[in-house]
Amino acid sequence: EIVLTQSPATLSLSPGERATLSCRASQSINSYLAWYQQKPGQAPRLLIYDTSNRATGIPARFSGSGSGTDFTLTISSLEPEDFAVYYCQQRSNWLTFGGGTQVEI
């Protein structure tokens, strides 16, 4: 089973700052890594698929990168609505999610 470890658990930043979220896999995975945003009381929303492709309607300030076992989600300049929990997810034989990073003000 591939385990995804996200860091940091909590990221405290201000609007306008850059956020860098990390996701590390326990073994090398193909480029199939996705990122999701979840706000309280809501379902997750797909942000990035296949490591670096933005989903439909996702602003350009969100970008993904990485390969092998190390992946990154970058939010170039935080907007007030970006404060939320972010999950990475891989798809080998089945799906697994990382533990999440909370981006807080």
Contact between residue 76 and residue 16 where contact means Cβ atoms under 8 Å apart:
no
Question: Binding another protein by CB under 8 A: which of 2, 69, 74, 91?
Answer: 91
As measured in angstroms, the least distance from the Cβ of 95 to another protein is 4
Q: Rule CB under 8 A: say whether 1 interacts with another protein.
A: yes
Q: Rule CB under 8 A: say whether 50 interacts with another protein.
A: yes
Provide the 3-class DSSP secondary structure of residue 20: strand
- Burial of 33 from C-beta contacts in 10 A (0-12 / 13-18 / 19+): buried
Question: Binding another protein by CB under 8 A: which of 14, 60, 80, 93?
Answer: 93
CA distance 5 to 42: 23
Question: Binding another protein by CB under 8 A: which of 44, 71, 73, 75?
Answer: 44
Q: Rule CB under 8 A: say whether 72 interacts with another protein.
A: no
> Which residue's CB is nearer to another protein, number 1 or number 14?
1
User: Dihedral angle at the C-alpha atoms of 102, 35, 96, 65, nearest 10 degrees?
Assistant: -110
